[in-house]
Amino acid sequence: MLMWLLPLFVSIVSLVMGYDEADLVFVGDAMQHQAQLDAARCGKGYDYSQYFEALEPVVSVADYAVVNLETPVGEGRHSGYPCFYAPTEYLDALADTGFDLFLTANNHTLDRGPSGLRSTIGQLDRRGLDHIGTYSCDSARAAALPLIKNINGFSIGFLNYTYGTNGISPRDGVAVDYIDRRLIKTDVEAARAAGAEMICVCIHWGDEYKLLPNTAQKHLADYLEALGVDMIIGGHPHVIQPMELRPNRYRPEKNVLLVYSLGNFISNMKTADTRGGAMAHVKLFRGEDRVPTVKSASYRLLFTIPGTSPSDNFRVMTADSVKDSRWRPRAEEFSRRARDIFDRHNIGVPELKNPSEQ
């Protein structure tokens, strides 16, 4: 068969057989520490051209890709921990890599107060990027939600919540979506009423640096499962935590994907478990019964190589692809520890070592 006929053939088969498929990608915390700012500094601007080169072929081919933007973004004086504020070039690099949805409800979203929150939203809007979790005011939240995306025929409602904002309270009218069971229930019901046939809740929760979920995470995950949420994607601990794909205990005709934590996407954290994270690959499927569900999920391990200048900048890549002798042992240590957790605790979510295995 001629290669140019293949997409047409797939479309015809899908129509005849009555099924749809979509591929989603999720990554963890996209951070911007001071060392990252220093390395990216180039004249009066910043150069992030090396950051995501290795992953762009993977992210860009997904039907929809989601990242947690764990820093406000805008113009002016930029800073790393403890009050993050990243340049707009960082946002451009993430968008150019292929990320479609930017999560902004996390504990650093108010690091620069309401002006930083509004700046981030403004920069995302100028680039036409989907975002969810924070809003310039209550009326903006009402207009933005429910966020429902049609992805290859799947109508998916996305929601995003955080446990807190480092003790900084919203002021000047800005809105942050905090974890609140009544609010979540209302939002899920509103998304369904607006036509969402699947629900994805991205949630900032858990204990930092703990490789296993705490009791509160488990109880909230059970609550979300009972609401019929299809995908529960977690972040915040800065380390990976287990993943599960299994029939929903309350609605067994559908699966639920539970990812407690994807860890760091890119950062300057330096302990063995914080130097990397996981990328979750999720395949949605609708068969002849027309019921949409999460058909399968897998993960690949990521590792960050630090840099010192724009010509030798920070880079994130799959952990197994790290060849640099300075960082290969650390990548292997990170991978060994992460796989130990996943091998012992994952349910139905294997490692994806080769794209052809997806």
User: For the segment 131-170, what is each residue's pLDDT rounded down to a tens digit?
Assistant: 999 999 999 999 999 999 999 999 999 999 999 999 999 9
Helix/strand/coil for 307: coil
pLDDT at 7 over 80: no
**Average model confidence (pLDDT) for the chain?**
93
Q: What is the dihedral of CA 163, 168, 174, 179, to 10 degrees?
A: 10
- At 354, the pLDDT band (50, 70, 90 cuts) reads low
So what's the pLDDT on residue 353? 74
Phi, psi at residue 206, to the nearest 5°?
90, 180
Query: How far is the C-alpha of 358 from the C-alpha of 342, rounded, in Å?
Result: 18
CB 241 within 8 A of CB 344: no
Query: How far is the C-alpha of 20 from the C-alpha of 70, rounded, in Å?
Result: 33
Query: Tens digit of pLDDT for each residue in 13-24?
Result: 444 445 589 999
Query: How far is the C-alpha of 85 from the C-alpha of 109, rounded, in Å?
Result: 9
pTM for this one? 0.93
Calculate what percentage of the chain has a pLDDT beyond 90. Answer: 89
